[in-house]
Each structure stands twice: as structure tokens, then as C-alpha cells.
Amino acid sequence: MKKDLAILVIHGIGRQEPDFAAELIQNVNAQVDALGSDPDRMAWQSIYWDDILSPAQDAYLQAAFGTNDLSAKRMRSFLLSALGDAASYRQLPSAGHRGGEENITYRRVHVRVREAIGRLYHEQLASRAVPLVGLAHSFGGHILSNYIWDTQKRPDGRLSPFERMNWLTGLITFGCNIPLFTFACREVVPIQFPPPRLPVRLRPLARWLNYLDPDDLLAWPLKPINGAYASVVERDEHINVGGLVAGSTPVSHLAYWQDDRFARQIADYLKKILKAS
């Protein structure tokens, strides 16, 4: 079936498997179907990058736990992943979402993003441009924002307009911690959203929606960063994920993937794009 909507999903911190988005995709497809639209019209593509950073982190944890009697091993592992991912990926000098000297890990992660978008465009869409929505969890929001910034400031003429993110109609961040990477910046400037080259017919559908659970200590609102972010982010939406137990703890940071209510929020937006298509 011809696809009328493309969706990219990128994970954030924490150990991940290549099928990290499977449950979210299944839930959103079910919700789209329940809302009266055909989920087969949507092409999904995951962006998996954890295996770039996890080997060094896992080796250190094994050595540290093997030679030291440390408490809270699960929480320590989670925090090491969170801090280690940010430190390894960090663009130097730290510039939020502006260009700077790129380290090797930064480039390797962005290659993964570019390859995923290429597979989506050439294989699933048969090189046909359609509205694109990005779903970015946690640190993945920072990665995707940086990637979009780079494509806007240094576009690669070898890539199609779709692969240069010109068709980015929607951006849904959840559990996002972009604000944490802005404090060392002399000037904090967000991506251009909607993209300047987004087709005119898609502009009324363009939304940057940021979802956060108030109990998620790694999730932050984006509009308070500054006036520029306030103008490109439509809203910071509070949502409770994770059920009665996990939902009231920091563990909620990982609960968006399985939450049916969050899937419904995504499906509501995707349905609007499908209807317009």
C-alpha cells in the first residue's frame, strides 16, 4: 500500500534493543485504527544508536561492580547510561543546537540517523516524499534536534529534500531534557520549525508537541528556555504515564513507550495528517 505519512522514532538513555519502539508502534497503530484511519498508510522507521555507546559503559560497570561493593546497582547503571551518553555524544564546544567541533561519537550517531532516514525514504516510501513526524524520547530529542540543526545549516546536496528534513511536519518529544544542554551556550537558538522549505499545504498541520510526566525527573518543559523556543514549541503537555506505582516515581521516564494514553495522543495528531493527505 502507498504510504501517506512517515514516522521516525529515536530512543533516549537507558539500555535499548533494536526493537525498542515495537510496543509503542503497535499501540499507536491500534489507536489510529480505532479512530477510523488505516495504519497501513503509515511508514515507521526506528533509529537505534545504543550499541555505539553501550560497550564501553557495560565494560566499566562490570569492572566497577566486580571490584567494589556498591549499592543501588540498577540505579547506578541507569545514571551511568544517562550521564555517559551525554558526555560521549557531547559536541565541543557545547553549543546546544549550534554547530561546533564534532567528536567521533557525535558523527557516528548522526550517521545512524541519516541511514535510518535514507531507508525510510528509499525503501519504504519508494523515494516519494510525504509528511514526516519525528518521535524522540529523552536524550533522543537532543540528538534529533542537533541533526535537524545540522541539516538546516549545512545541507547535504547529495540528499533528497525529504532526507534533509524539509518535510518535517511534526515533532513529538517526550521525557525530553534539551534544556540541560543549553546552559553552557552563549546563545541558545532552536531549530527552524516548521522547516523553511516545508510545503505550504503542510504548514497548517505543523506541530512541535512536548510531553512530560511531572514525576519524570529527566523530563523538562521546553517553552521556558527562551522566547525563541516558546515560539516554535506549540505546547508543553503534562501527562501521567506508568500506572499507579511506577507513574509516581522517576521510573516514569521509561514508561512512555508502553502507555496507552500517550499512544492515543500521538494517534490523534497522526490522524489529522492522514485526513489532510
Residue-wise pLDDT tens digits, 230-267: 999 999 999 999 876 555 556 789 999 999 999 999 99
Domain CATH for 192: 3.40.50.1820
Counting the structural domains of the chain, the total is: 1
- With 70 as the cut, is the pLDDT of residue 142 above it? yes
What DSSP string runs through 213-235? -TT-TT---SGGG-HHHHHH--E
- With 80 as the cut, is the pLDDT of residue 138 above it? yes
Question: Mean pLDDT lowest for which of 44-48, 88-92, 100-104, 152-156?
Answer: 100-104
For all residues of the chain together, what is the average pLDDT? 91
pLDDT tier for residue 273 given thresholds of 50, 70 and 90: very high
What's the rounded Cα separation, in Å, for the pair 223 and 234?
8
In a domain, 6, yes or no: no
In a domain, 4, yes or no: no
In a domain, 8, yes or no: no
Question: Mean pLDDT lowest for which of 174-178, 192-196, 238-242?
Answer: 238-242
In a domain, 7, yes or no: no
What's the rounded Cα separation, in Å, for the pair 261 and 173?
15
- With 70 as the cut, is the pLDDT of residue 209 above it? yes
Mean pLDDT of 162-168: 98
- With 80 as the cut, is the pLDDT of residue 103 above it? no
- pLDDT value at residue 173: 98
In a domain, 1, yes or no: no
- pLDDT value at residue 95: 39
- With 70 as the cut, is the pLDDT of residue 113 above it? yes
Cis peptide before 194 (omega within 30 of 0): yes
Segments forming the whole domain that contains residue 76:
13-61+71-276
Mean pLDDT of 198-223: 96
- pLDDT value at residue 102: 52
In a domain, 50, yes or no: yes
The proportion of the chain whose per-residue pLDDT surpasses 70, expressed as a percent, equals 93
Nearest in space to 117 (alpha carbons), one of 152, 66, 193, 168: 168
What's the rounded Cα separation, in Å, for the pair 44 and 234?
24
- pLDDT value at residue 276: 93
User: Could you tell me the pTM of the whole model?
Assistant: 0.90
Pairing outcome for strands 42-47 and 132-137: unpaired
- pLDDT value at residue 159: 97
The secondary structure of residue 92, as a DSSP letter, is B
- With 60 as the cut, is the pLDDT of residue 169 above it? yes
Mean pLDDT of 33-42: 98
